[in-house]
């Protein structure tokens, strides 16, 4: 119920020009169809009352002619309204497709079953920022999202910023958008993609340019070497167990790309593709057995010794 | 007689259903990483303990073999074995096996590694996934029931798939 009136995942609370155009269209459709609906109900009620009063059907020429005239008018009105709506829809379609591709930044988003890989393109390879399940955008900047998929078709939907766009394997889709209101919005996969499709979301954080640049610079750094003995033990647990087969932590020997990049895990707000707050308890639970939280998730359970698990989490907490 | 036939066909149908069995949520116990299975020496003190025969349950399930196929690429076996065709490592789709073709042999190849460049994945891959990969590796050379085996990998097709040719990006469009 709370979600029904939520503003952080709603096309009716636009935070950018394209979403605003879509919202306008929504209200036009809603107003016109609401008026027609009410008129229809009134007409229906009148017809029922008239019919109930009358004993016999009126089959005179006069009555037939007036009925036919009414139907002709109603049909023409319907056609005109539908064509009118069609043109408003086409006009909105034009409004939300940019005529030029002047953008300040390209961000590649790759869909995976059931999480999002996010990569900030940069000419120099060592400047590329790699993260997951969280998209940061500078307010007021026009950015281009390049959409691809690693497995099946997914669909990106950030209702507060734009419409939906599919992520198709081997085919670069493009979504250009501008966010002009700071805030945190929620995006959701909008194309059924398997067992955990419903739990494939992420947060979009629109922030002032200075904050964004600070975030980007921090994300470029490799993970720091752990300080305490406990954290160092945790790093050893990570590097010697299954984690390295799927995850990368820059600055260590873990470089696999099957699962989300964990280099700055602790700086992210959620776990498991936007489904859990990133807290100590949730992190323990997720690592011990993510299957109990997101059944079928492509991360196996990890039967670790309790002290190894604690050390591992202590290490992951240092990945700011 | 009719009833007996009906019963028999029901039983057969039930037996055939293993193909579609999916164990989507795996227990932590199955996720432990185990060691090798095959004895490397014939010599044993006392009387030899009999070898137990290994049955790989994943080999009867289409879903598991498909998972094996996904993991074969995800864990970069393809990097050396090129989707079964061979490269740095030997081809896995032929009928020549250096270290044996039985499930337990392939299991041990993956877990223990082999001296001429095959890495040891022991402790790095949960056991249930190793068995899925084993089933897939055996399916490459037709050693599992063809009704559960996946079709040949896209990467090993002669022609490029039609849908992976086009690009939508605006850079492409600008080119003459
Ligand atoms: Cu989906």
pTM metric for this prediction? 0.87
Report whether pLDDT(A47) > 90: no
Give A148 to chain B, closest Cα distance, Å: 11
Over residues A218-233, mean pLDDT: 93
Residue A6 Cα, ligand 1 centroid: separation in angstroms?
21
Strand partners, A167: A154
Over residues A235-256, mean pLDDT: 93
Q: How far is CA A102 from CA A135, A144, A178, A179, in A?
A: 20, 9, 12, 15
Chosen from A240, A255, A258, A285 to mutate, greatest number of chain B CBs within 10 A: A258
Report whether pLDDT(A1) > 70: no
| Sign of the C-alpha dihedral computed for residues B79, B82, B87 and B88 taken in this order | positive
The SS3 call for residue B118 is: strand
Report whether pLDDT(A311) > 90: yes
ipTM of this complex prediction, to 2 decimal places: 0.83
Nearest to B129 among A171, A256, A300 (CB): A300
**What's CA A157's distance to the chain center, in Å?**
4
Residue B10: its pLDDT value, please? 58
For residue A239, give the chain B residue with the closest CA: B124
Residue pair A288/A243 in contact by the 8 Å Cβ criterion: no
Residue B173: its pLDDT value, please? 47
Residue pair A152/A193 in contact by the 8 Å Cβ criterion: yes
pLDDT string in tens for chain B (176-residue length): 667 766 666 555 555 567 778 877 777 777 777 777 777 777 888 887 777 777 888 899 999 999 999 999 999 999 999 877 778 889 998 889 999 889 999 999 999 999 999 999 988 999 999 999 999 999 998 898 888 888 777 777 666 666 555 555 445 444 44
| H-assigned helices in chain B | 2-16, 62-74, 77-81, 103-112, 127-140, 170-174
- Domains in chain B (CATH in brackets) are 55-148 (1.10.760.10)
Residue A102: its pLDDT value, please? 82
d(CA A247, CA A151): 17
pLDDT in tens, B87-129: 888 999 888 999 988 999 999 999 999 999 999 998 899 999 9
Give B103 to chain A, closest Cα distance, Å: 22
Over residues A244-272, mean pLDDT: 94
Nearest to A300 among B26, B76, B164 (CB): B26
Which has the minimum average pLDDT: A37-41, A220-224, B81-85?
Answer: B81-85
Residue A285: its pLDDT value, please? 95
| Dihedral angle, C-alpha A232, A233, A237, A239, nearest 10 ° | 30
pLDDT in tens, A82-118: 999 999 999 999 988 877 778 889 999 999 999 999 9
Which token pair is A74?
């109603």
Give B43 to chain A, closest Cα distance, Å: 33
A→B contacts (Cβ < 8 Å), by residue, are 101, 146, 169-174, 195, 240-242, 244-246, 256, 258, 288-289, 291, 295-296, 300-303
Exposure string over A34-45, b if 16+ CB within 10 A, otherwise e: eeeeeeeeeeee
Q: Do A241 and B123 touch (CB under 8 A)?
A: yes
Over residues A154-175, mean pLDDT: 93
Report whether pLDDT(A205) > 50: yes
Q: How far is CA A43 from CA A37, A40, B87, in A?
A: 10, 5, 76
Report whether pLDDT(A24) > 90: yes
Residue A236: its pLDDT value, please? 95
In 3D space, the residue among A192, A141, A136, A191 whose CA is nearest the CA of residue A163 turns out to be A191
B→A contacts (Cβ < 8 Å), by residue, are 24-29, 31-33, 74-76, 121, 123-126, 128-129, 163-164, 166-170
Which chain A residues are within 8 Å of B168, Cβ to Cβ? 171-174
């Amino acid at each position: 119920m709370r979600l029904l009136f939520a503003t952080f995942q709603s096309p009716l609370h636009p935070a950018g020009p394209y979403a605003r155009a879509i919202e306008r269209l929504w209200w036009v459709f809603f107003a016109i169809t609401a008026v027609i609906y009410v008129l229809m109900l009134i007409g229906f009620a009148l017809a029922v009352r008239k019919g109930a009063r009358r004993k016999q059907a009126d089959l005179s020429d006069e009555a037939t002619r007036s009925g036919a005239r009414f139907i002709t008018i109603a049909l023409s009105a319907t056609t005109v309204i539908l064509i009118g709506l069609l043109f408003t829809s086409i006009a909105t379609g034009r409004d939300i497709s940019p005529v030029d591709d002047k953008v300040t930044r390209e961000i590649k988003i790759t869909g995976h079953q059931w999480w999002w890989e996010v990569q900030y393109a940069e000419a120099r390879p060592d400047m590329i920022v790699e993260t997951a399940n969280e998209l940061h955008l500078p307010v007021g900047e026009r950015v281009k999202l390049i959409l691809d998929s690693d497995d099946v078709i997914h669909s990106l939907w950030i209702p507060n910023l734009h419409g939906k766009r599919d992520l198709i394997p081997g085919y670069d889709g493009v979504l250009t958008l501008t966010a002009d209101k700071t805030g945190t919005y929620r995006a959701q996969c909008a194309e059924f993609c398997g067992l955990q499709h419903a739990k494939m979301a992420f947060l979009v954080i629109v922030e002032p340019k200075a904050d964004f640049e600070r975030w980007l610079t921090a994300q470029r750094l490799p993970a720091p070497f752990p300080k305490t003995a406990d954290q160092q033990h945790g790093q050893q647990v990570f590097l010697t167990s299954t984690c390295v087969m799927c995850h990368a932590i820059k600055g260590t020997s873990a470089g696999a790309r099957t699962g989300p990049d964990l280099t700055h895990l602790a700086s992210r707000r959620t776990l498991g593709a936007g489904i859990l707050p990133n807290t100590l308890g949730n992190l323990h639970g997720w690592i011990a057995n993510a299957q109990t939280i997101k059944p079928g998730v492509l991360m196996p359970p990890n039967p670790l010794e309790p002290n190894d698990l604690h050390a591992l989490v202590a290490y992951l907490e240092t990945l700011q | 007689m009719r009833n007996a036939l009906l019963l028999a066909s029901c039983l057969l149908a039930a037996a055939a259903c293993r193909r579609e069995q999916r164990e989507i949520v795996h227990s932590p116990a199955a996720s432990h990483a185990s060691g090798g299975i095959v004895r490397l020496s014939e010599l044993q003190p006392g009387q030899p303990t009999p070898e137990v025969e290994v049955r790989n349950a994943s080999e009867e399930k289409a879903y598991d073999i498909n998972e094996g196929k996904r993991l074969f690429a995800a864990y970069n076996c393809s990097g050396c074995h090129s989707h079964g065709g061979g490269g740095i490592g030997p081809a896995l789709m032929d009928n020549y096996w250096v270290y044996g073709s039985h499930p337990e042999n392939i299991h041990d190849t993956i877990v223990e590694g082999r001296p001429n460049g095959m890495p040891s994945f022991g402790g790095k891959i949960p056991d249930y996934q190793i068995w899925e990969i084993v089933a897939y590796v055996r399916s490459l050379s037709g050693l599992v029931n063809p009704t559960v085996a996946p079709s040949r990998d896209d990467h090993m097709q002669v022609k490029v798939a039609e849908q992976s040719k086009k690009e939508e990006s605006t850079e492409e469009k600008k080119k003459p």
